[in-house]
Structure 1
Amino acid sequence: MKHRIISAFVFSLFISLSGKFISPSFGQDPAESPVLLTVGGKTIQRDELVYLISKSGPVDSSPGISREEFEENLDLFINYQLKVREAEAQGLDQTEEFRREFESFKETLIAPFLIRNSLEEGELRKAYSRMQEMVRASHILFQFPSNASTEDSLIVLKMALKVKGDIENGANINELAVQYSDDPSAQTNRGDLGYFTSLQMVQPFEDAAFNLQVGQVSDPVLTNFGYHIIQVQDRKPNPGQVQVSHILVRFEPNDSLQEANARRKIADIYTEIQKESTVWEDIVLNYSEDLASNQRGGILPWFGVGAMIPDFEMAAFSLSEIGEVSPPIRTQYGYHILRLEDKKPMASFEELEESIRSKILRDSRSRMIQSQVVAVQKARYGFKEEETSVSKLGQELNSVPKSEFNAQLESKGLNQSPLFSLKGKTYLANDLAEYMKDLEVRNTPKEGTFDFWYDRYVAHILSETEVQDISSSNKEYQMLTKEYRDGILLFSLMNKEVWQKGLMDSLGQEEYYRKNISNYQWKDRAEAFIVKVLDSGQLTSARNQLSNGGYNSSLIKAFEDNYRSNAPLAFQTQSGVFEYTDHPVLSKADMSKNYQEIQVDGQTYLIVIGQKFAAGPRKFEESRGLVIRDYQDYLENTLTQSLKTKYPVNVNNAVKEEAYLALNR
């Protein structure tokens, strides 16, 4: 069993922002955690240590943590707290930069705890579940006339109900679509929408279609387009995605002679394709009239259900073997011959999650989720609307422009009118006016002025209330935000006192180098040109070039230029000054010879040895990178030791034991 050790200087800056973790025994309203230790008088609770060690998790499947690992983690935790304490003492938590960064983190961290997150997750899962299936449906659209009255809407609804009855009595929906549908495409597709899956239709249409069995007819379904009558023709599993290449011969849809010529041409092409000697790419290049794809073998991007016109899509998905060619098919663009290039199953939820989320947030589901969020928030926080007052305000102020809203509110003596109460506080019309003051909207709201801004204000206050509730009562969120707060402070302190100082303090670097020069020593070194032979047929030529020349830059350049031009895969080379005692190849060589051939792990190496250098100290310039790294470590250790003196640490051993036991339950 081996646990990851919690970081000594950044617990939280490089972990996931998802918040999807399981903390040990943190409830919504926890009892106050006992104090584990004090750092310069500042108390640190037991649960913080337990939380951080639990988040680091075991690297294997063994549960719990050993005593030795626990003590090591506790030491690192104390050092971490000392640095946070010093960062606070230096006022790093009061800077504008810190506040801006921390607020940005908080907005991200709270998202998984919000009501919206769980509702959104439910919609994501529902959409993905529906995406496992594809539905083929026909529909008839009944649109409302412009500026339709209630009476007009009822007439449209009655017509939709009549047509539904006709279909249920045996009439063909596709024939009726040509006669009745206000969807312009019905004249060509006869109301047949082909196959589609989730998130490819507006939500009410999708909900209705996925709730119908094959052959079943829907009641009139209201969308922004009008009323729809829907009949499902087929349902089957989603086949995933395909990639096809195609040949296209175009014709004008209303030109029968041109179409007849195109039909004969595509038939001749199809006959030619059947010959064994035919190269598909050549046929595409010579005959396909799709200029966007004929230069690359007719290949089209990957697509899934609902992405192409139905006839093309059905032909593509009917191909089962890679390389299989379809008979000619007709679409509105012309005649096609398709070849299957590849296919793949539907991706996992994790792969599609962000794409699904993006689509949901762009359609009506987003508004539906927001309505549900508001409803749950109202129930949870005891929202009570002052209905009489709100109704009167709507009557008086809905026709008032936003620019005159506040003045009208005061002149009518309505600014103290109650709107609603929430968690014991009553909100007034004056509060709404204050909220509206600095906000603008792009388009004039369809609702009245008061109704529009009142709904936005209610949602705003409910959202603020939820955030305050989570911040004050959710221990898991409190732990997470503290972790990030302290992580930012820790980073700021380390950057100031260690990293930047170690990088920029050239005098300090040189002094550290002089005091620790024994750490920066070369072992015995030698100039060497090492040639690994990959093609034994080139060995004699290489030997002739290298065996008598001695080590020099001209020899190396000439050899490398020659083999890269004439036999680029014959050799691998490296040259320079090497510490040879530990080198995997040079350690096997006779360093007294200027040229030699040796075998290492079954590989032949040609080696040219040049000048040798005895062991000795590195120059500062040769060691600068190592010195900076070591100097920064020295600065950190010095800082930690000074902080232990500045901020005395007292550990409550009884609570320490409780923490150990909590990690081994």
Structure 2
Amino acid sequence: MTNRTISALLFTLLLIFESSVATMAFVQATGQDDPLLTIGGKTVDKDELIYLLSKGNKSEPGTPGMSRDEFDENLDLFINYKLKVREAEAKGLDQSEEFLKEFESFRENIKAPFLIRNSLEEGELRKAYSRMQEIIRASHILLQFPANASEEDSMIVLRMAMKIEDEIKNGGSINDLAVEYSDDPSAQINKGDLGYFTALQMVQPFEDAAFSLQPGQVSDPVLTNFGYHIINVKDRQPNPGQVRVSHILIRIDENAPNGEDLAKRKVADIYNEIQKVSTIWDDIVKNYSEDPSSSLKGGILPWFSVGSMIPEFEMAAFSLTETGEVSPPIRTRYGYHILRLEEKRPVESFESMEESIRSRILRDSRSTMIQSQVMSIQKSRYNFDENEGNVAKLRAELNTTTKSGFAQYLTEKDLAADQLFSLQGKSYIAQDLADYMAEEEISLKIKTGTFDAWYERFAASELNKAEEADLAANNKEYRMLLKEYRDGILLFSLMNEEVWQKGLMDSVAQKAFYQKNIQEYQWKGRVNAYIVKVLDMTQLDAARKILQGNPLSDELIASFESSYESTNSLAFQTESGNIEYSEHPVLSKANMNESYQELEANGHLHIVLLGEKTNAEPKKFDETRGFVIRDYQEYLDKNLIETLRKKYPVKINPKAKEETFIALNQ
């Protein structure tokens, strides 16, 4: 059987999703003209067998295809598999609460890679990771909107932002202008200089604008939730990755008139002390650092990347190049620091960062943007047509209602039959929205109004249903994968009920099977033996002194093993017990009539001590129960298949069978 043969285990589990993409070409190349099989009156398409066999195909291009015998063997296994699924359906296992819950969970997991949202998310992930290969240093000026700003207020802020932009482009210093105009509180200290940052460290519109600029360029006003920004990119560099440093912190006593000078003098003395060869860094940190969170740990700080720390500290850390290198004292708003480089590492691979990037994207405004794009594509694809007049009217009437009073208000105002939208030709009315709201046991954070919040959610829900229905109807790869999971769960349930649990739990049936097939559970001739494999030949004489000339006993074994384990535990390997000797690699060479022997086997000398022999005899049930259960389960499985073949007659379509064989060998 080659690696293209479908094993029984494959049909038992059927839960290998990762290779499904590789089968897409096979799935798309097949048709559904004639069924391959009819099982108890139900048809089975050849696509299904091609899909499953292609999924297990690991052959290199150019290798021989599947032989007739292999194909027939696989077809027979496939028929057994489909018979069991047919029986599971007949027993109603596909309607059980347990099945429905498990299948729905699988459906949610496997549909994700096929959805529109996934491709959009993937694009954002790749864009974010690509941007992470660079760091940008920029300055900005922020102009915020006044509280409860009107449209006119917003225009005034925008005109001011454009005026400042022109000043900068005409030679004005963005840093000086930031001190004068910026509403960012930190601008009075940093003059608008944000230091270096990379992707996912700024709000999305700011990031998009910054990464579109080259050093020296100034942006048009950029609107974010904070207001309008003018951005001036100063520098772009490759991302240095992450750094880990330890540090010494000397704080400045703001209440002392000469606090700055005292701190500066102290950190200078410490720095001079560090230059001495005899100085131990950990001792200096422990004795002098005023950072209680790190001083007892050698000053070690967590790994950090660009944009994670205050700029002065960050720049000093990333300027260190050699492990153990110590920086001159630097000043931050926390005081004076001396840094020592512990380790650096480059930007991690996309695969290792993927989930972290995804989590961060889904927590910021990109998530809302992606959802908006998803709905836009869905609306276009599935012919979404909103009744704008009715929606505007319902918004005006219902935005101030509560969720609990929504349905009653609809009835009182005779609005329940008003159309909201049509989707794929089906009309949805206000009552449908009310019914949806009643079924949802959640409370939304209402930012606009009750109608707007719930209408958006309802429309998204129906659009998602339309997309999933479209997947199931028109995406053959998804449909095949869904069927594979469904049938796999049913197969598992039937086998668990009819074979595995029955074979495992029915001890009476196990013993009856054991008695009926006792000839299969026989000991061959055995001998009580102790085998010592000599690994260190210098210890051979010591072993002989203890073992030679003494009858085999538990006391002798214990004495020998305690003696060599305490002096040279690697000198010997041992094996003991009542062992079948006819096929044993060492005992098969032994003379059963000699109690002490030395034998060569597999390149090693073995000392063999023999005791009492036992002739061939049946194994006791408890000695072989595990094998009995295994064999009994195989027996139950075989009987189940024989019963199902009688219960559900199998008809094979010769033409479709030949087409399947050809498709698998193309």
Judging changes above 3 Å, is the alpha-carbon distance between structure 1 residues 534 and 168 closer, same or farther for their aligned structure 2 residues?
Answer: farther
Note if 1:495 corresponds to 2:501.
Answer: no
Contact 2:15 2:488 in 1 (8 A): no
Contact 1:46 1:659 in 2 (8 A): yes
Query: Cα offset for 1:367?
Result: 0.7
What is residue 51 of structure 1 aligned with on the other side? 51
What is residue 310 of structure 1 aligned with on the other side? 311
Moved more, 325-334 or 450-459: 325-334
Judging changes above 3 Å, is the alpha-carbon distance between structure 1 residues 530 and 167 closer, same or farther for their aligned structure 2 residues?
Answer: farther
Query: Cα offset for 1:571?
Result: 5.5
Note if 1:152 corresponds to 2:153.
Answer: yes
2:341 alignment partner AA: L
Counting only pairs closer than 5 Å after superposition, residues 611-650 of structure 1 correspond to structure 2 as 611-650=612-651
Note if 1:106 corresponds to 2:107.
Answer: yes
Query: Cα offset for 1:588?
Result: 6.2
CA distance in 1 between counterparts of 2:255 and 2:185 reads: 17
Moved more, 119-128 or 257-266: 257-266
Q: Can you list the C-alpha shifts for 1:173-221, whole angstroms capped at 9, x where unaligned?
A: 3333334333333344332222222112111111111111111111222
Query: Cα offset for 1:377?
Result: 0.9
Q: Can you list the C-alpha shifts for 1:317-371, whole angstroms capped at 9, x where unaligned?
A: 2233333333333333333333333333222222222111111111111111110
Contact 2:31 2:47 in 1 (8 A): no
Query: Cα offset for 1:51?
Result: 1.0
SS state at 1:437 partner: helix
What is residue 335 of structure 1 aligned with on the other side? 336
Query: Cα offset for 1:307?
Result: 2.6
CA distance in 2 between counterparts of 1:462 and 1:607 reads: 77
Query: Cα offset for 1:73?
Result: 1.2
Counting only pairs closer than 5 Å after superposition, residues 358-397 of structure 1 correspond to structure 2 as 358-397=359-398
Q: Can you list the C-alpha shifts for 1:233-279, whole angstroms capped at 9, x where unaligned?
A: 21112222233333334444675744444434443443344444444
Q: Percent identity?
A: 62
Query: Cα offset for 1:568?
Result: 5.6
Q: Can you list the C-alpha shifts for 1:14-42, whole angstroms capped at 9, x where unaligned?
A: 312795443235459x8644211111221
Query: Cα offset for 1:310?
Result: 2.4
1:53 alignment partner AA: L
2:53 alignment partner AA: I
Contact 1:240 1:305 in 2 (8 A): yes
CA distance in 2 between counterparts of 1:7 and 1:229 reads: 65
Counting only pairs closer than 5 Å after superposition, residues 237-636 of structure 1 correspond to structure 2 as 237-252=238-253, 257-439=258-440, 442=443, 444-530=445-531, 546=547, 550-557=551-558, 560=561, 573-584=574-585, 594=595, 608-636=609-637
CA distance in 1 between counterparts of 2:171 and 2:580 reads: 91
TM-score under structure 1 normalisation?
0.91
What is residue 134 of structure 1 aligned with on the other side? 135
CA distance in 1 between counterparts of 2:105 and 2:308 reads: 38
Q: Can you list the C-alpha shifts for 1:68-121, whole angstroms capped at 9, x where unaligned?
A: 322221111111111111112222122121122122222222222221111111
Judging changes above 3 Å, is the alpha-carbon distance between structure 1 residues 441 and 616 closer, same or farther for their aligned structure 2 residues?
Answer: closer
CA distance in 2 between counterparts of 1:413 and 1:123 reads: 45
Contact 1:24 1:51 in 2 (8 A): no
Note if 1:81 corresponds to 2:82.
Answer: yes
Contact 1:33 1:46 in 2 (8 A): no
CA distance in 2 between counterparts of 1:260 and 1:608 reads: 85
Moved more, 291-300 or 108-117: 291-300
1:330 alignment partner AA: R
Judging changes above 3 Å, is the alpha-carbon distance between structure 1 residues 567 and 334 closer, same or farther for their aligned structure 2 residues?
Answer: farther
Note if 1:6 corresponds to 2:2.
Answer: no
What is residue 42 of structure 1 aligned with on the other side? 42
CA distance in 1 between counterparts of 2:586 and 2:574 reads: 12
Judging changes above 3 Å, is the alpha-carbon distance between structure 1 residues 208 and 555 closer, same or farther for their aligned structure 2 residues?
Answer: farther
SS state at 1:199 partner: coil
SS state at 1:394 partner: helix
Contact 2:26 2:54 in 1 (8 A): no
Contact 1:87 1:93 in 2 (8 A): yes
What is residue 231 of structure 1 aligned with on the other side? 232
Judging changes above 3 Å, is the alpha-carbon distance between structure 1 residues 622 and 123 closer, same or farther for their aligned structure 2 residues?
Answer: same
Judging changes above 3 Å, is the alpha-carbon distance between structure 1 residues 568 and 226 closer, same or farther for their aligned structure 2 residues?
Answer: farther
Contact 1:138 1:230 in 2 (8 A): yes
CA distance in 2 between counterparts of 1:256 and 1:19 reads: 72
What is residue 202 of structure 1 aligned with on the other side? 203
Q: Can you list the C-alpha shifts for 1:612-640, whole angstroms capped at 9, x where unaligned?
A: 43443322111111111121112111211
1:362 alignment partner AA: R
CA distance in 2 between counterparts of 1:296 and 1:552 reads: 57
Contact 1:381 1:423 in 2 (8 A): yes
Query: Cα offset for 1:606?
Result: 5.6
Judging changes above 3 Å, is the alpha-carbon distance between structure 1 residues 498 and 200 closer, same or farther for their aligned structure 2 residues?
Answer: same
Structure 2 unmatched runs, 5+:
none
Structure 1 unmatched runs, 5+:
none
CA distance in 1 between counterparts of 2:75 and 2:648 reads: 16
Query: Cα offset for 1:452?
Result: 2.2
Moved more, 415-424 or 246-255: 246-255
Judging changes above 3 Å, is the alpha-carbon distance between structure 1 residues 441 and 39 closer, same or farther for their aligned structure 2 residues?
Answer: closer
Note if 1:120 corresponds to 2:121.
Answer: yes
Judging changes above 3 Å, is the alpha-carbon distance between structure 1 residues 541 and 658 closer, same or farther for their aligned structure 2 residues?
Answer: same
Judging changes above 3 Å, is the alpha-carbon distance between structure 1 residues 392 and 654 closer, same or farther for their aligned structure 2 residues?
Answer: same
2:74 alignment partner AA: N
Moved more, 320-329 or 468-477: 320-329
CA distance in 2 between counterparts of 1:211 and 1:230 reads: 11
SS state at 1:23 partner: helix
CA distance in 2 between counterparts of 1:404 and 1:433 reads: 10
Contact 2:242 2:305 in 1 (8 A): yes
CA distance in 2 between counterparts of 1:563 and 1:317 reads: 56
TM-score under structure 2 normalisation?
0.90
CA distance in 1 between counterparts of 2:278 and 2:573 reads: 43
SS state at 1:630 partner: helix
CA distance in 2 between counterparts of 1:650 and 1:231 reads: 75
Aligned pairs, number: 664
- Over the aligned positions, Cα root-mean-square deviation in angstroms equals 3.1
SS state at 1:24 partner: helix
Contact 1:253 1:332 in 2 (8 A): no
Q: Can you list the C-alpha shifts for 1:129-165, whole angstroms capped at 9, x where unaligned?
A: 1112121222222222332233333333333333323
CA distance in 1 between counterparts of 2:40 and 2:573 reads: 60
Contact 1:38 1:44 in 2 (8 A): yes
Judging changes above 3 Å, is the alpha-carbon distance between structure 1 residues 599 and 295 closer, same or farther for their aligned structure 2 residues?
Answer: farther
CA distance in 2 between counterparts of 1:33 and 1:74 reads: 19
SS state at 1:134 partner: strand
1:417 alignment partner AA: D
Query: Cα offset for 1:479?
Result: 1.3
Q: Can you list the C-alpha shifts for 1:369-402, whole angstroms capped at 9, x where unaligned?
A: 1101111111111111112222222222222333
Judging changes above 3 Å, is the alpha-carbon distance between structure 1 residues 604 and 315 closer, same or farther for their aligned structure 2 residues?
Answer: farther
Judging changes above 3 Å, is the alpha-carbon distance between structure 1 residues 296 and 19 closer, same or farther for their aligned structure 2 residues?
Answer: farther
Query: Cα offset for 1:126?
Result: 1.2
Query: Cα offset for 1:60?
Result: 4.3
Contact 2:165 2:230 in 1 (8 A): yes
CA distance in 2 between counterparts of 1:490 and 1:25 reads: 24
1:190 alignment partner AA: K
Contact 1:144 1:156 in 2 (8 A): yes
Judging changes above 3 Å, is the alpha-carbon distance between structure 1 residues 168 and 475 closer, same or farther for their aligned structure 2 residues?
Answer: same
What is residue 68 of structure 2 aligned with on the other side? 67
1:58 alignment partner AA: K
SS state at 1:485 partner: helix
